[in-house]
Amino acid sequence: MLNLLRIELGKLLRGRIFWFTVLIYCVMILATFIPLSFMEDITGIIPSGLMDTQEMEQLNVDMEQVDEILTALQSGNNFVLAFYGASSGQFCVTMIFVILFIYVDFRNRTLQNTLLCGYSRKQVYFSKLITGYVGGCVYFIICIATVCLLGFGFYRMPLGGEILCTAFQLLLSQCVILVEFVAVYTATAFIFGNGWAFLGSTLVFTLLPGIPLISALLQGKNQFFSAAYMPSFISANGVGGFITTDMMLAMPKLWTPALVISALTVLVVLTAGSTVLGVRAFQKKRL
């Protein structure tokens, strides 16, 4: 099993799919951080990328909105928001990666090859699950690093101990949440593998808002809700609009014991349920 895991992790790190999705994700984070809502008023003037405050003032940008963003990003609490904003696409990217990572092995018949080398289907399944999870964690690390760098480099966010401590907490919380998402994606890929992975990914895309919605109903406004609905808030209200919504009020609830317990319950049920279904489906699958 360790041997198989070592091979799968090697495939992850040398795989085109992984680095392609990392690249896509970095682009997504940058796109989230570029305040398009106020940049659209200055069409034809902005050369490219992010600008500092002086440049924006010279270009008659609505500085009220800019101040709002700068203020938000300079505090630890809003670092949390900035992270959630940036990490909203992370679950989608992880899904694409996990499903393609498994689908390619189905398509190339290399999954069959692994089985013919004497590994059990459970071993193959769990090696893929763990590798997918490691990949997902790497996305989070990239996300946090990017948020820190962008905040520090472009929004004058102080990179002090408080921010780093928050970053670590976020990473920890998200890596816990990621378990259930990767479990669902892996199960879907194995259930719909053999050419049906793309149908599976579509279904998961449909389910993606459903999972946080169920969690939201159970737990109120929580991390699932904010992670899943962040893009729509940003597109509807702009980054400034997002920061000023009542979502901010929900964030302090993130660490309440009741929320943690209910989130962990959902996590265990979803992870265990999808894994049992996935393993069963894979064991019955004709390869």
Partner 1 sequence: MGETLLQATGIKMSYNKRPVLGGVSLEVKKGEICGLLGPNGAGKTTLLGIITGLIRPDQGEIRLFGKDFAPSALRRVGCIIHRPGLYGNKSAAENLRLQGMLLGIPEDRSEQLLALVGLSDAGTKKVGKFSMGMKQRLAIAMALMGSPDLLILDEPVNGLDTQGLYDMRRVLQTLNRENGVTILITSHMLDEVARLATNYAILRDGALRQFSSGEVREKSHRYAEIVTLDTAAAAVVLDAFVQGEDGYEVMPDGSFRLYHSLDRLPEINAALVKVGIGVQSLSLKAGTLADFYLDETGRGNYHA
* Nearer to partner 1 among residue 109 and residue 156 (C-beta): 109
211, 270 Cβ separation under 8 angstroms: yes
Q: What angle do CA 207, 208, 213 make, to 5 degrees?
A: 90
* Nearer to partner 1 among residue 181 and residue 282 (C-beta): 282
* Nearer to partner 1 among residue 6 and residue 156 (C-beta): 6
51, 138 Cβ separation under 8 angstroms: no
Contacts of 164 (CB under 8 A, 6+ apart): 148
Q: How many CA atoms lie within 13 A of 31 on its CB side?
A: 12
Q: How many CA atoms lie within 13 A of 10 on its CB side?
A: 6
Which residues of this protein are in contact with partner 1, per CB under 8 A?
A: 3-4, 6-7, 16, 108-121, 283-284, 286-287
93, 24 Cβ separation under 8 angstroms: yes
Q: Min. distance of Cβ 16 from partner 1 in angstroms?
A: 7
Buried b (16+ CB within 10 A) or exposed e, 149-179: ebbeebbebeeeeebeebbeebbebbeebbb
Q: Min. distance of Cβ 37 from partner 1 in angstroms?
A: 41
DSSP 158: -
Element (H, E) at 43: none
* Nearer to partner 1 among residue 113 and residue 256 (C-beta): 113
Q: Min. distance of Cβ 3 from partner 1 in angstroms?
A: 6
* Nearer to partner 1 among residue 118 and residue 160 (C-beta): 118
Q: Min. distance of Cβ 9 from partner 1 in angstroms?
A: 12
Q: What angle do CA 194, 188, 219 make, to 5 degrees?
A: 175
Q: Min. distance of Cβ 104 from partner 1 in angstroms?
A: 9
Q: Min. distance of Cβ 287 from partner 1 in angstroms?
A: 4
Q: Which two structure tokens, joined as six digits, stand for 2?
A: 């360790």
Q: Min. distance of Cβ 275 from partner 1 in angstroms?
A: 19
Q: Which two structure tokens, joined as six digits, stand for 60?
A: 């008659």
* Nearer to partner 1 among residue 125 and residue 229 (C-beta): 125
DSSP 160: -
* Nearer to partner 1 among residue 5 and residue 50 (C-beta): 5
